[in-house]
Structure 1
Amino acid sequence: MQIRFANLLFYAVMAATVEGCMMGPDYVKPKVQVPVAFKELQGWQQAQPKDDRLPGKWWEMFGDPQLNALEEQVVGNNQTLAAAEAQYRQAQHLVQTALAAYLPTGGVAATVNRFRAATGQNVAVSGVRYLFGTALNISWEPDLWGSVRRQVEANVGSAQASAATLQALRLSTQATLAQDYFQLRALDAQRQLLNQTVAAYRKTLEITRNRYAVGVAALSDVVQAEAQLESARAQAVDVEVMRSQMEHALAVLVGKSPAELDIGQGALTTRLPTIPVAVPSAVLERRPDIASAERSMAATNAKIGVAKAAYFPTLTLSATNGFQTANLSKLFSMATRYWALGPAAAAWTLLDGGAHSAQLKQAIDAFDASVAQYRQSVLTGFQEVEDSLSALRTLEEESHVQDKAVRAAESALTITENQYKAGTVGYSNVMIAQAAALNNRKSAVTVFGQRLIYAVQLVKALGGGWGSADLPDADSAAGERKWTDFLPFPLQ
């Protein structure tokens, strides 16, 4: 009769757990205002629905083999990403910790007592005696109010947010590497331009010295030519310093010491790709930082349910099966076996000084904060896309104007040099024309480098080929569990 009653109680509690109440609000994604189209999309070719997704290896659009080789080294070697991956695994294990609360806990105990009964007691055996015992204890707290289920939901959301944060960091690192690489190549182009300028200035200095030797030019012309030549050399040295620092930064991004990476001089021949731009609503599904904020919001919503469930009583069921005897040799005989169902304990906190109320309010406040952070992430995402589109359009216009300025400056320099050789103008005119030509050439290189950098920024603002469908589902967020994880001792 007792066993039958215990079985009925067990099944009743199981049914209550499965069909039990779930405290707290079910998660509903808050709405955000999404524009129909980007404001700065004027003059930009908007992608069609079938080709508006960036490739996973988006850097290959630039057609630079050296960049491709560097990007492939980021994921496996970058130490910041390695730390983020460890944090994601930690979030997965927190999900496993929450899942463990569904199952009962059990333990074994072995006891031995050596004692002597007090004088005057009626005992079967007088004097010093032993009492040996072993017991198997099982305890289980059914999830009547959904506290465990809400905690699992919260931890799954946090793990998914961690996965999205990892992807956002990966995208940011890849974008930073591409931008640093393009800056390095722009410095290479400037160094090549300065080397050509130094060679041209050296020839001009030689001509000026020859003119001075025959009394056609003044000594001041020679001094000015020498000063201009040394100034160009100094600029070349300054560019080399900046290039070395950029190369060191690239080494750290790929997880190497600066001494291990040597990027040879190269020309700025990278092509500027056509980047497909989707509608603003698609950006919400493709930016990992927005996905991280949204999953964090879901996690904080579930914690409201955990805080509400703490108001209600808890029920703990336990059972014990063991052996107890005064004779060690008979410890595991059936005659010494005993069992017990219980105690079945219910506990309900009636007075806590307002702690439960404060915890519930704190959970609601945390959710409100996460909603604001999510909406701010959306606004920031739209701003970054608009900024990149605006910069690319403006820089394209500036590039066309700058190219015209370069051609005009080069023509003016050629005319002025010929006039100087003919003796119709002074050397100061040559210096002004040379400085103008050099500055315009450097500006053209700088503008093209900026266009590449903002192209990378636009790719990053659009999510870099990632999508919310790449988020791990609830099972994946819990991580892989092996049978060895349930052993009472570690095997690592």
Structure 2
Amino acid sequence: MMQPRLIALLLVACGLAGCAHVAEMPAVPLPEAPAYRGAPQAAAVPALQRDTWWTLYQDPELDRLQQQLLASSPDLGSALARYQQARAATDSLRAARLPSVGASADVVRTRQSENRPLRGAGSSNYYNSGTLSLSLDYELDLWGRISRQVAAGAAEEQAAQADLAGAQLALQAQLADFLLALRGADQEIELLRETEAAFGRAAGMVVERHRAGLASGLDVAQAEAQQESARSQLHQVQAQRDVLEHAIATLVGSHASTFSIQAAPASDVLPTIPTGVPSELLQRRPDIAAAQRRVAAANAGVGVARTAFFPSLRLSATGGYQSSDLSNIIAAPNVFWAIGPGLLANLFDGGRRRAEVARAEAVLDETGQTYRATVLAAFQQVEDQLALLRRYGDATQAEQRTVAASRRALDMATSRYRDGAASYLDVVAAQTTNLQARRNALDLATRQRRATVQLIRAIGGGWSFEG
């Protein structure tokens, strides 16, 4: 009589397990255009791996610092530890698929009450009790609760792995950005030192003219002020470089007080970056992959919450030896065992399970919207950097023309001053304009290089052309 009922119960369980089906991954919002709006014409460039993209900038110091970042960065170490936590949590969930086996050994000396109810007349007041036992416990996953918990844990582990890759890419990009900014500061420092020296020579010329009665004291004061202004600007840029150097030290896990980077000219190379088509971005970016896996984890979490409406079926068994004669405990008469299934159902919980399902569904909605926002932000970041590169390129060309024109104006103002046809105020104005134009040109070149770093980060770091 019991066997048909058990078969029927299992069939019902298999049928009800389908009730825990939940929603699929939300649709990905892709732009209709086949290419990014600001993307330049595609160029033939070789593939570049994610772990070597910074070699495009041809700076040996950047290569060395990137290796130090991987080895010593505390931020990267924290991200790795978070991934290891997620992996251990998944392993813990997977263990629920297997039966648990326990062993126990008890030795007890007991003194029982003389007035104990139902005590036998010849029962001793003192006795020993020894027990050796094994127990087994296993929950049948009839409704898919355990499998969905494992699926949710595996998805969270994959999300943490993507977070680790994203953290590594972000730190590598930040390091490259800082170093490019520092190299730009090196160029600006060199320019200001040259300018300070040039202004010093010009001031010396004015002093000589003043001694000869050809220039006024006002001209001398203006020339000296111009030199001191250049010196002040030099110290300000040096301070900015020091701060960048300290930031790099912390980023790669070094003490700022003992860390230094030798000044070096920035490379003139402006790398060509193939952005690919928008749909490829979903496979490239680690943060998008992490958002996808968290949607999958929340999806499985809804299934786990729904299985709470069904009873749980456990199989338990225990057996071993028990005796008051501890010297002869392992003997056939001392054997005991018990085996049997257990069914546990929650008949009333005041709406707790329904509330838990509602909470899980809200988490799924939240992760879906987060995923959508992540994708939209990714496309925005690519377009932002493409726009910056395009506009910075146009501005650089205009600034180079400004530098050339201001150089001619400075030469003419200086020549006219020597000839007595202009005041030194004209020379000061021309010097100021030329210096600002040259600094602007250097700044734009640095901004362009830094924008390429952010574009590489925005497309996920590196690229390939596999079909």
Q: What TM-score do you get using the length of structure 1 for normalisation?
A: 0.88
Amino acid paired to 2:68: Q
Q: What's 2:66 paired with?
A: 71
The Cα shift of 1:40 comes to 5.5
Matched, 1:56 2:51: yes
Instruction: Find the aligned partners of 2:320 and 2:290 in 1 and give their Cα distance.
Output: 50
Instruction: Find the aligned partners of 2:324 and 2:221 in 1 and give their Cα distance.
Output: 112
Q: What's 2:181 paired with?
A: 183
Query: Are the aligned partners of 1:81 and 1:169 in contact in 2 as well (CA < 8 Å)?
Result: yes
Instruction: Report the CA distance shift for 1:466/1:415 in structure 2 as closer, same or farther (over 3 A).
Output: closer
1:443 to 440, 443, 447: 440
1:347 to 344, 349, 356: 344
2:167 to 162, 169, 176: 169
Instruction: Report the CA distance shift for 1:437/1:38 in structure 2 as closer, same or farther (over 3 A).
Output: farther
Q: Secondary structure at 1:132's aligned position in 2?
A: strand
Equivalent positions of 1:52-451 (< 5 A) are 55-109=50-104, 110-116=106-112, 118=114, 122=120, 126-342=124-340, 344-451=341-448
Q: What whole-Å deviation, never above 9, does each CA across 1:439-473 have from its counterpart, x for those lacking one?
A: 00000000000001111110011000379x9xxxx
Q: Secondary structure at 2:137's aligned position in 1?
A: strand
Q: What whole-Å deviation, never above 9, does each CA across 1:399-451 have from its counterpart, x for those lacking one?
A: 11111110111111111111111111110000001000000000000000000
**Identity of counterpart residues, as a percentage?**
34
The Cα shift of 1:7 comes to 12
Q: Secondary structure at 1:141's aligned position in 2?
A: strand
Q: Unaligned 5+ residue runs, structure 1? A: 470-492
Instruction: Find the aligned partners of 1:353 and 1:8 in 2 and give their Cα distance.
Output: 34
Instruction: Find the aligned partners of 1:291 and 1:421 in 2 and give their Cα distance.
Output: 68
Instruction: Find the aligned partners of 2:130 and 2:31 in 1 and give their Cα distance.
Output: 76
Amino acid paired to 1:24: A
Amino acid paired to 1:394: R
Q: Secondary structure at 1:108's aligned position in 2?
A: strand
Q: What whole-Å deviation, never above 9, does each CA across 1:199-236 have from its counterpart, x for those lacking one?
A: 11111111101111111110110011111111110110
The Cα shift of 1:325 comes to 1.5
Q: What's 2:21 paired with?
A: 25
Q: Secondary structure at 1:350's aligned position in 2?
A: coil
Query: Could you say what the CA RMSD is over the residues aligned between the two structures, in angstroms?
Result: 2.8
The Cα shift of 1:294 comes to 0.6
The Cα shift of 1:79 comes to 0.3
Instruction: Find the aligned partners of 1:53 and 1:429 in 2 and give their Cα distance.
Output: 52
Query: Are the aligned partners of 1:420 and 1:427 in contact in 2 as well (CA < 8 Å)?
Result: yes
Moved beyond 6 Å, runs of 4+? 5-20
Of 59-68 and 81-90, more deviation after overlay is shown by 59-68
Instruction: Find the aligned partners of 2:134 and 2:55 in 1 and give their Cα distance.
Output: 62
Instruction: Find the aligned partners of 2:15 and 2:180 in 1 and give their Cα distance.
Output: 59
The Cα shift of 1:128 comes to 2.9
The Cα shift of 1:108 comes to 2.2
Instruction: Report the CA distance shift for 1:106/1:82 in structure 2 as closer, same or farther (over 3 A).
Output: same
Instruction: Report the CA distance shift for 1:127/1:404 in structure 2 as closer, same or farther (over 3 A).
Output: closer
Q: Unaligned 5+ residue runs, structure 2? A: none
The Cα shift of 1:333 comes to 1.6
Instruction: Find the aligned partners of 1:92 and 1:13 in 2 and give their Cα distance.
Output: 36
Aligned pairs, number: 462
Query: Are the aligned partners of 1:22 and 1:147 in contact in 2 as well (CA < 8 Å)?
Result: no
Q: What's 1:465 paired with?
A: 462
The Cα shift of 1:6 comes to 12
The Cα shift of 1:28 comes to 2.8
The Cα shift of 1:240 comes to 0.7
Q: What TM-score do you get using the length of structure 2 for normalisation?
A: 0.92
Q: What whole-Å deviation, never above 9, does each CA across 1:319-367 have from its counterpart, x for those lacking one?
A: 111111221111112221122213x221100100100000000000100
Instruction: Report the CA distance shift for 1:108/1:366 in structure 2 as closer, same or farther (over 3 A).
Output: same
The Cα shift of 1:260 comes to 3.1
Q: Secondary structure at 2:140's aligned position in 1?
A: coil
Instruction: Find the aligned partners of 1:47 and 1:297 in 2 and give their Cα distance.
Output: 36
Instruction: Find the aligned partners of 2:159 and 2:281 in 1 and give their Cα distance.
Output: 17
The Cα shift of 1:160 comes to 0.5
Instruction: Find the aligned partners of 1:106 and 1:175 in 2 and give their Cα distance.
Output: 50
The Cα shift of 1:37 comes to 3.6
The Cα shift of 1:71 comes to 1.4
Instruction: Find the aligned partners of 1:334 and 1:112 in 2 and give their Cα distance.
Output: 21
Amino acid paired to 2:385: S
